[in-house]
Structures are given as C-alpha cells and as structure tokens.
Amino acid sequence: MLEITNLNKTFFPGTVNERKALREIDLTLAEGDFVTVIGSNGAGKSTVLNMVAGKLYPDSGNVRIDGQDVTKLADFKRAKYLGRVFQDPMAGTAPSMTIEENLALALGRGKVRALALGVTNRKRELFVEELASLELGLEKRLKTKVGLLSGGQRQALSLLMATLTGPKILLLDEHTAALDPQRAALVTRLTREIVERHRLTTLMVTHNMEQALALGTRLIMMHDGQIILDLSQAEKEKMTVKGLLGEFEKIKGAQLDDRTMLQ
C-alpha cells in the first residue's frame, strides 16, 4: 500500500547547519498495517510523514502509494489518498466554520468541488451518525463554530474528518501529544476504533512508548534519520517499555562506536 524506498533528505546541505534528516529510509506497509513510530526528537519521524504527504520532497528515493509513484506529486494532489491529523489541535479544522461545514469539506476529498450546496440534509444525516460514534455529543452541535470547541473535541473531530472518506493511508503525527492525559486517552481510543472499523493503513508517530506498544500491528523506532528497529506484531506483543529503552541504548551505542571507529 505504501512503499518508501531509499529516501534521503539533508537540510541546508553544504553549510555549517547541514542536517541529515533521513538516511536511506526503506519502509513498506501492507494494506491494513498499523505502524507506530517512536524515536528521539529530531530522529526524522515527522520528515518521513511530511514526505509521504508531499509537504517535503526528498533529495533522492521514492514514495509509492498503492503502486503509484507520488514522490513529486504536490501535497493537495495526493491528498485524495491520505488522511492526516497533526499535533496541533488547531491545525486540522477550520475554526470560523461550523462543525457540519468542516465535515462537508472533509467529505469533498477526492471529489470535484463545484457549485452544489456544501451542506445538504443528506450529508447532515451522515454527519450526525459519524459524530455520534465519537460519543462527545457533537452531533447536537452541527452549527457550532469549530473554534469554540476544546482541544480534545477538535482533535477528535480532526480524526473523524481525516478518516471520513476512508483514505488509503492515515498519517498521525503525535496527534495526542498536545492534549491532557484524559483527552489523550479518548483520542487514542477513537484512533484504535476508527482504524479498526475502516481497516486503515496507518502510520502513527508518538513519543509515548506505552501508546506505541498498545496500538497497532507493528512498531518501528527511528534514530538519527534511520530506522533502527522494526518489530512485527508478535515481537511487539512481547516487548515492554523497558525493553524498548534497552534496545535503543544498545543500538545507539553501537552506532556511536561505528562512527568513532571511522574517524
């Protein structure tokens, strides 16, 4: 479903600020894979997601979605395949538009937007049904401006909007990180339910190791622009947070040794 091959990205090449964000990343997701991604700050997790989404373009390497090479396709053109939820709860919705208008925008993904009325009664029925599944009572507030919702509500709505049309791939970048623990738990639960319901192929970045172990069918760990650990579902089920930290130290140490030896 998603094929990332030999992806490289260096920011500010040839300057003192040169930063190799990605080094020869290879990653393939089969249909229905739900991969959680962990790693230190600056490991390149967001950069991978941004390249899948078309926010950044790689120096070399390819991104294929469902067999189609999208490496150079503009973000809005490949948006028909991709649902995204960002870390900032403000980022995924239009604040001065109502809940139903936001959902109508999301429903228009991959369709030609013309002069038909954006919100119709038929769409409203669908919105009510979908919103009810969030169990936040938002289905009674269709005409509320989204800017008036709390961060947790907005993030839940963002998740619903991102998945409303059943995208081929769902990209989540620390989408629970800005929420208080209670709301984070809610959005985590919704994520699990929605991904299962639509059987979405998902790439989820999180800095919460417990969440990374609890969710998904596969886990990868990144460090310094590389994937340093790739656990299958069976391996992941046996893994603990402590075990992950141990792996991380081990691999990081080994890498450092390599570098030192090269010098």
Give the span between the Cα atoms of 60 and 5, in whole angstroms: 9
**Radius of gyration of the chain from its Cα atoms, rounded to whole angstroms:** 19
Choices 4-12, 25-33, 244-252, 253-261 (CB under 8 A): range interacting with other proteins:
244-252
Q: Is 191 in the site for Mg ion (CB under 5 A)?
A: no
Q: Is 21 in the site for ligand ADP (CB under 6 A)?
A: yes
**Cβ–Cβ < 8 Å for 130, 103:** yes
Give the residue with the Cβ less far from other proteins, 2 or 53: 53
Give the span between the Cα atoms of 18 and 11, in whole angstroms: 6
Place of tokens 């391996």: 235
Within 145-204, the residues that bind other proteins by CB under 8 A are 145-151, 153-154, 161-162, 177-181
**Cβ–Cβ < 8 Å for 59, 124:** no
Q: Is 53 in the site for other proteins (CB under 8 A)?
A: yes
Residue 46 CB, shortest distance to ligand ADP, in Å, is 3
- Tokens of residue 173, six digits: 């970048």
Give the residue with the Cβ less far from other proteins, 33 or 100: 100
Total residues contacting ligand ADP by CB under 6 A comes to 11
Q: Is 214 in the site for other proteins (CB under 8 A)?
A: no
Of the candidates 117, 253, 90, the one whose C-alpha atom is nearest the C-alpha of residue 179 is: 90
Q: Is 46 in the site for Mg ion (CB under 5 A)?
A: yes
Residue 57 CB, shortest distance to other proteins, in Å, is 15
Neighbours of 72 (CB within 10 A): 12
Give the span between the Cα atoms of 227 and 229, in whole angstroms: 6
Give the residue with the Cβ less far from other proteins, 92 or 216: 92
CB neighbours of 157 closer than 8 A, spacing ≥ 6? 92, 93, 99, 102, 103, 134, 138, 146, 149
Per DSSP, what are the bridge partners of residue 231?
219
Total residues contacting other proteins by CB under 8 A comes to 66
**Cβ–Cβ < 8 Å for 7, 28:** no
Within 116-135, the residues that bind other proteins by CB under 8 A are 116-119
Q: Quick one: which of 35, 43, 200, 213 contacts ligand ADP (CB under 6 A)?
A: 43
Partner that binds at residue 228, options Mg ion, ligand ADP, other proteins, none, CB closer than 5 to 8 Å by kind: none
Q: Quick one: which of 14, 15, 17, 41 contacts other proteins (CB under 8 A)?
A: 41
Torsion from C-alpha of 147, 153, 156, 162, nearest 10 degrees:
-10
- DSSP class of residue 17 equals T
Choices 43-51, 64-72, 76-84, 123-131 (CB under 5 A): range interacting with Mg ion:
43-51
Per DSSP, what are the bridge partners of residue 246?
none
Which residues make up the interface to ligand ADP (CB under 6 A)? 11, 19, 21, 39, 41-47
Which residues make up the interface to other proteins (CB under 8 A)? 38-41, 53, 74-77, 79-80, 82-84, 86, 88-97, 101, 104-106, 108-111, 113-119, 145-151, 153-154, 161-162, 177-181, 207-210, 221, 223, 241, 244-245, 248
